[in-house]
Structure 1
Amino acid sequence: MKAVIIDDEQKARRLLRLLLEENCPQITAIETAEDLPKGVALINKFQPDIVFLDIEMPGYSGIQLLEFFTPEQINFEVIFTTAYAEYAIKAFELNAIDYLLKPLRHDQLETAVQKAIQQIGQSKVSERLEELRNTLKVSNIRKIGLPVSNGVLFVELDDVIMMEADRMYTKVFTTGDGELLVSKPMKFFTDILEDVREFYRPHRSFVINLKHIKQYVNQDGGYIIMDNQKLVGISKDKKDEFFQVMQG
């Protein structure tokens, strides 16, 4: 069987190829592409049985695969890869589309490949992808509502740098609106961000966006410098976990 991997991150492409080679002997040929247009050209040339497709890529989302093929041309199974569990998992499961959550695990991959092999030719992939696209239109909301003095400010999750507990309030530091004092305790945010993989709690007083880490300093017990130059401490019992998360 043949597979195509489409992912804008070179590290992710290499890791998935390695995991396939080590754990999925049914797949004997693998090609990779760094974006959706190149991936489409590769699919047309290579005629894969399975396509591993990152759902979040610059330029084109993976779900836009439907714009490049007619329903009859999609004669391969699709397995999406995603780091964004909070909206994607429910949408995938509702529409019988397989997915792999980053960081990838070999057991998860083996199960997904086995399932994809069993499904080949059994149902129209294009119909399942269309339903997935419709579901994501209503559930792909990447904003958070912050209660502020004159109402609720909606901020893109990617624009949230970090949060700092301030008794019954929380300081939210953003790229566009600076520092905001929000009338919610930290627990409110840890609960709603629990499944949002880019947010991490290195210390009981802080929640950080891993995308906005600038540096780790191995002094004074160890601390993190964020993109806004704020310093964030790491609890002793969180250090090993933090490095595992960052290396994942």
Structure 2
Amino acid sequence: MKALIIDDENKARRLLERLLQEQCPEITEIIGASDLEAGVASIKNELPDLVYLDIEMPKYSGLQILDLMGDTPVNFQIIFTTAYNEYAVEAFKLSAIDYLLKPIDIKELRTATEKAISTLKEQSINNKLEDLKKAFNQLALNKIALEIPKGVIFITHDDIVHFEADGMYTKVHLINRPSELICKPLKHFVAQLQALPIFYKPHRSYLVNLKHIKELSKKDGHHLVMSNNKTIPISK
């Protein structure tokens, strides 16, 4: 049984390889790739039976594997490795895709690997990946994905007070939890949320949730006071 590990973190690849060697004797050969493009090339050349696939990687997400595979048949089993939080985990459960939460638990690794081996020739991974995409889209109806260093968190729209531009980054101010600094510009969120009437851009550096406006003040020029007492200027 041949396994391929696709992960942009070299340390994570080495750790998973060691765990597989120690815990999964059915796997006799292990190869690695540092990004999805290299991983797909290895899939086509090496024909692995199992692919342990990280989701958050530079340039391409692991969820885009079907896009890069093209017409090449997916006749291997995928186990996603992810640092996603509980909301995203629900998407994996809904789609019946195997996944391992980082840091990887040895017992869960054995269980997922044994399941993948037993079902390798029974189900179409293509259909399961499409189901996963649908599940993520369903979650996204009322939530927004915020990419943080540890993974991705899903926040409901109502929990967002406002977005604040910080150069090429954006600070997301939230209810009852610390703000998050996201490595995407404000225009990314403006484009993503422009169809939702609850979000309004009063200033080039801010995008606010209208539900959290506490006051419209005319003192020293027009500005908004948000529910977190942050003052937001209004452009003329």
The two structures have a TM-score, normalised by structure 2, of 0.64
Aligned to 2:145: 142
Deviation at 1:135, TM superposition (A): 1.6
Deviation at 1:138, TM superposition (A): 3.4
Is 1:80 aligned to 2:80, yes or no?
Answer: yes
2:162 to 153, 156, 161: 153
Distance 1:50 1:146, change over 3 A: same
Q: Tell me how far apart the structure 2 counterparts of residues 154 and 27 of structure 1 sit (CA, whole Å).
A: 47
Aligned to 2:16: 16
Deviation at 1:139, TM superposition (A): 2.2
Q: Tell me how far apart the structure 2 counterparts of residues 8 and 102 of structure 1 sit (CA, whole Å).
A: 14
Deviation at 1:161, TM superposition (A): 8.9
Distance 1:115 1:173, change over 3 A: closer
| Aligned-partner residue type, residue 3 of structure 2 | A
Does the aligned pair in 2 maintain the 1:172–1:182 contact within 8 Å?
no
Aligned to 2:67: 67
Alignment map for 1:202-221 (pairs within 5 Å) = none
Distance 1:159 1:105, change over 3 A: farther
Q: Which sections of structure 2, spanning at least 5 residues, go unmatched?
A: 147-154, 187-204, 207-224, 229-236
Aligned to 1:34: 34
Deviation at 1:137, TM superposition (A): 2.6
Q: Tell me how far apart the structure 2 counterparts of residues 97 and 133 of structure 1 sit (CA, whole Å).
A: 11
Q: Which sections of structure 1, spanning at least 5 residues, go unmatched?
A: 185-248
Does the aligned pair in 2 maintain the 1:147–1:153 contact within 8 Å?
no
Q: Tell me how far apart the structure 1 counterparts of residues 55 and 98 of structure 2 sit (CA, whole Å).
A: 12
Does the aligned pair in 1 maintain the 2:32–2:39 contact within 8 Å?
yes
Aligned to 1:237: none
Distance 1:70 1:122, change over 3 A: farther
Identity of aligned residues (%): 45
Aligned to 2:100: 100
The two structures have a TM-score, normalised by structure 1, of 0.61
Deviation at 1:159, TM superposition (A): 5.3
Distance 1:54 1:183, change over 3 A: same
Larger radius of gyration: 2
Q: Tell me how far apart the structure 1 counterparts of residues 22 and 15 of structure 2 sit (CA, whole Å).
A: 11
Q: CA RMSD in A?
A: 3.2
Deviation at 1:69, TM superposition (A): 2.5
Does the aligned pair in 2 maintain the 1:6–1:34 contact within 8 Å?
yes
Distance 1:30 1:174, change over 3 A: closer
Match of 1:37, SS?
helix
| Aligned-partner residue type, residue 145 of structure 2 | R
